[in-house]
């Protein structure tokens, strides 16, 4: 099923034996589509829960009235150095209400193969990461974390494609729990700082 045009029409999609494309869409027997959320009740990021990199459940209701920056990360990627910029955002803007959350993911080029403990150690040792790192998850396909299924539906990417394309895709969520904007991997933390500051200023 390589180079299958059924997915997004580009002719470059690669759909595996389970019917899942690299862009996150799933073959339902008739057409390609994004996996749907399990519940229509998920209307705000505060409705979700995820585990920290230490395995502790964190309800996102804890972040009520905060501005969130969510990033799918990898420690062997060309964009890995963005950890430094993310840490700078955390240090300078967390007093104003920013919460940075990193979600390790090994779905893109197998560039995050380590255990949660190994990833945590790497981030702290090499970039002094003190913002909240989360448990490794999948962001595309049928096993995508419900949080990411919701984020992608709320803020599709280029040409309306919902699937995450690579490591260090970023989602900015406002104080009201709604997605403000989605950023591509090449959008550096420094380049989106003004948007974050604007979101922090909005009540």
Beta bridge partners of 134: 52
The verdict on whether 21 is a catalytic residue reads: no
Distance between CA atoms of residues 75 and 96, nearest Å: 28
Q: Burial, 54: exposed, middle or buried (Cβ in 10 Å; 0-12, 13-18, 19+)?
A: exposed
Write down the pLDDT at residue 13: 63
What's the pTM value of the predicted model, to 2 decimals? 0.80
User: Catalytic residue among 13, 77, 105, 123, which?
Assistant: 77
Q: What sign has the CA pseudo-torsion 18, 155, 4, 136? A: negative
Strand ranges for 29-178 from DSSP E? 32-33, 49-51, 57-59, 67-73, 98-104, 132-133, 170-173
Q: At 60, phi and psi to the nearest 5?
A: -75, -5
pLDDT in single tens digits along all 203 residues of the chain: 445 555 655 555 666 665 666 565 666 666 666 554 444 555 899 999 999 999 999 999 999 999 999 999 999 999 999 999 999 999 999 999 999 999 999 999 999 999 999 999 999 999 999 999 999 999 999 999 999 999 999 998 776 678 999 999 999 999 999 999 999 999 999 999 999 999 999 85
- Structure confidence at residue 159 (pLDDT): 65
- CATH tag for 42-201 (out of 3.40.1080.10, 3.40.30.10, 3.40.470.10, 3.50.50.60): 3.40.30.10
Which SS3 state, helix, strand or coil, does residue 73 take?
A: strand
The residues spanned by each domain of the chain are 1-33, 42-201
């Amino acid at each position: 099923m390589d180079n299958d045009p059924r997915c997004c029409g580009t002719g470059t999609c690669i759909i595996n034996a389970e019917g899942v494309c690299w862009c996150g869409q799933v073959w339902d027997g008739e057409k390609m589509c994004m996996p749907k959320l399990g519940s229509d009740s998920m209307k705000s990021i505060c409705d979700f829960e995820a585990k920290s990199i230490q395995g502790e459940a964190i309800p996102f209701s804890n972040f009520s009235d905060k501005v969130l920056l969510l990033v799918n990360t990898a420690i062997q990627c060309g964009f890995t150095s963005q950890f430094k910029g993310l840490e700078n955002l955390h240090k300078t803007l967390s007093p104003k209400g920013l919460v940075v959350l990193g979600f390790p993911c090994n779905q893109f080029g197998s560039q995050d193969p380590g255990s949660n403990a190994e990833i945590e150690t790497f981030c702290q040792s090499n970039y002094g990461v003190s913002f909240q790192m989360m448990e490794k998850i999948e962001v595309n396909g049928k096993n995508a974390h419900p949080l990411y299924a919701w984020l992608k539906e709320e803020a599709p990417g280029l040409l309306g494609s919902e699937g995450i394309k690579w490591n260090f895709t970023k989602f900015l969520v406002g104080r009201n729990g709604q997605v403000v904007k989605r950023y591509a991997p090449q959008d550096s933390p420094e380049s989106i700082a003004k948007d974050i500051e604007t979101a922090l200023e909005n009540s």
